[in-house]
Amino acid sequence: MPRKVIIIGGVAGGASCAARLRRNDESAEISIIERGEHISFANCGLPYHLSGAIPDYQDLLIHTPESFRSRFNVTVRVRHEALEIHREKKTVLIRDLKLDRTSEEPYDQLVLSPGASSLKIPFEGNQLPAVYNLRNIPDLQSIMKAISCGAKRALIVGCGYIGLEVAENLVRAGLSVFMVETASQVLSNLDPEMAVIVRNLMSGKIKLCLSDRIRKAEQNGSGLLLTLESGRQIGVDLVIVGAGVVPESMLAASCGLKLGIRNSIVVDAFLRTSDPDIYAVGDAVEIENAVDGTRVCLPLAGPANRQGRIAADNICGAERKYSGTLGTAITRFFELTVASCGLNEKCLKNSGIDFTKVYTHALSHAGYYPGAGSLSLKLLFCRADGKLLGAQILGTDGVDKRMDVLAAMIKFKKTVFDLTELELSYAPPYSSAKDPVNLAGYAAENMLRGIVRVAYPEEIDLHISDGGIVLDVRSQEEISAGAIPGSIHIPLPELRSKMAQLPSGKPIIINCQTGLRSYIACRILSQHGLDVRNLSGGYKTYKFYKQSSEP
Ligand code: FAD
């Protein structure tokens, strides 16, 4: 008898699972049940149609039900909803939404890939027609219709990756855009001193209200009058809610499958739910964080696709384990690329892991070759053994490849010492003989091997109030553009001759612009017996740190 597999949800995880199943087993009876009109569409591409960067929304349809059917010989039922799972009979009750008819289908194995739904934000007026989500093609078409009917002002709720992508694309489409965010920073997967680089870029492009939320939306002529918790009032034509997602686990819950954090579906390492004949993948499941082993929900397309593939293999008798998720993410925001992987400092503090960090601001490629930009990189690692725990990078050029190198290194549990050993591709338009990833490794290695002691921006105020000195070794020109209050100034080239001017017996934190010249200064002074530390990331990171605490 051919095995009969039903897959609920036909987009990222579900379509990937169905395709792999067919490649594994030509005789299986495979059905996809999808509530929406489309399967296998590129939800990640939705924001880019708003600006016309992807001019035709049909390009987002990777497969139509017909093309999927003909390529994979899979029964695809769109506009069908799985209503109930009867585990004892191994059947699924399905409603045909077009004909309003139900039927009961048997399965040998069932795969749940129902995704996540937009978090409903509880504000008065959240049901008004001009309040949208962006999860699928019909949502996209509704927003496009509003724009073509003259919407000129938009408010986006939530400053995560998707919120920012939507905001940028609406600005490019000519709308004036407000964003409101309950947290005190944008992009909460970054640490605040890194996220502030994005916030700085918003200025003049997008109006941002942090630490605030919508209280009320009222119809006001053809537009909406929004009142925020702070009392601020904003007139807009549409609101797009992008404030996070919740796992679609109602179906799993109603048939008694075990649920975990935020009501996500609990699966084992083989992606089996608490019922061994039911697998679950994608945004709806709780998985292991590959860095610290905690259970998390990380709604990302790569993990959903990989999980779909692994579930298919396991259904066909393999014993493949899903090795956890790192949360590797990237987005473009105007000229900036923002990427992160692994745990941030906030998570590490909560987890109790003894970690430390370095900041670097290396050039994306050789400075003498046109177009190089600064890559602001934060590397988090174990204090004891240098094991990599997380990375955040922002810059205008070359962010993606550095993040992907670091993601691979974190995945395979490598250390900062391993970063110094990497031989990466180099020619002047692409990198430098010492790649920014190598340089971050050197900075961390120097610290862990005790070659230089390191200080951080958050320590400066206490250091000064305790009688410590901050020595700035930049040029006069750089200092004129801003310096740490109270710092004393000896440019690096003059340090050896002017060393005697430094007050003796006091601890010194040395800074330059990025941390490189101050490292050299630390090496000079420490070999003369002075108590010195290098300010990691230099004045640049100090400035970001200070800006991040400004409202
Ligand atoms: P989905 O792909 O959401 O598919 C779930 C499907 O199940 C839905 O179509 C739903 O209709 C269907 N369904 C649910 N319940 C039932 C039921 N009872 N019966 C029948 N059908 C049902 N991730 C990235 O990594 N990078 C990005 O750049 C990125 N950008 C994104 C941009 C947007 C606008 C959105 C919305 C998401 C983005 N994501 C991105 C997230 C990524 O798309 C998801 O992580 C991924 O699609 C999850 O796959 P999934 O199979 O779990 O769920």
pLDDT in tens, 409-430: 999 999 999 999 999 999 999 9
Judge if pTM exceeds 0.85: yes
Predicted confidence (pLDDT) at residue 526 exceeds the cutoff of 90: yes
Atom of ligand 1 nearest to the CA of 116: 3
> Rounded CA gap, 254 and 252, in Å?
6
* Residue minimizing CA distance to atom 32 of ligand 1: 44
The pLDDT score that the predictor gives to residue 257 is 98
Residues 235-292: tens digit of each pLDDT: 999 999 999 999 999 999 999 999 999 999 999 999 999 999 999 999 999 999 999 9
**Calpha distance 532→246 (Å, rounded):** 49
- Ligand 1 geometric centre to CA of 21 (Å): 20
Buried b (16+ CB within 10 A) or exposed e, 467-479: ebbbbbbbeeebb
pLDDT digits 0-9 by tens, 312-346: 999 999 999 999 999 999 999 999 999 999 999 99
Q: In percent, how much of the chain has pLDDT > 90?
A: 99
CA 390 to ligand 1 center in whole angstroms: 25
- pLDDT above 90 for 195: yes
Residue 149 among the catalytic residues: no
User: Is residue 282 in contact with ligand 1, taking CB distance under 6 Å?
Assistant: yes
When pLDDT is cut at 50, 70 and 90, the band that residue 36 belongs to is: very high
Position 551 scores a pLDDT of 79
Residue 55 CB coordination number (10 Å): 10
**284 CA: nearest ligand 1 atom:** 52
| Per-residue confidence (pLDDT) for residue 204, from 0 to 100 | 92
- Best mutation site among 6, 20, 40, 44 for ligand 1 pocket (most ligand atoms within 8 Å of CB): 44
What is the residue with the minimal CA distance to atom 15 of ligand 1? 114
300 CB less than 6 Å from ligand 1?
yes
Cα 77 to chain centroid distance, Å, stands at: 32
187: region left, alpha or beta (phi > 0 left; psi from -120 to 50 alpha): left
Cα(11) to centroid(ligand 1), Å: 6
Distance (Å, whole) CA 273 – CA 257: 7
The rounded distance, in Å, linking the Cα atoms of 249 and 82 is 12
pLDDT band at 446 (very low <50, low <70, confident <90, very high): very high
Mean predicted lDDT score pLDDT of the chain: 97
- The structure tokens 């609406």 sit at 170
Q: Separation of 160 CA from ligand 1 center, angstroms?
A: 16
Substitution site in 17, 31, 35, 165 for ligand 1 pocket (most atoms within 8 Å of beta carbon):
35
**Of the residues 32, 283, 325, 331, which should be mutated to test ligand 1's pocket, given the most ligand atoms within 8 Å of the CB?**
283
Nearest atom of ligand 1 to the alpha carbon of 302 = 25
What amino acid is encoded at 93 in this protein? L
Which amino acid is it at 360? T
pLDDT over threshold 90, residue 504:
no
What are the tokens at 179?
């964003």
Q: Report the C-alpha gap between 142 and 312 in whole angstroms.
A: 35
Model confidence over 219-231: pLDDT tens digits? 999 999 999 999 9
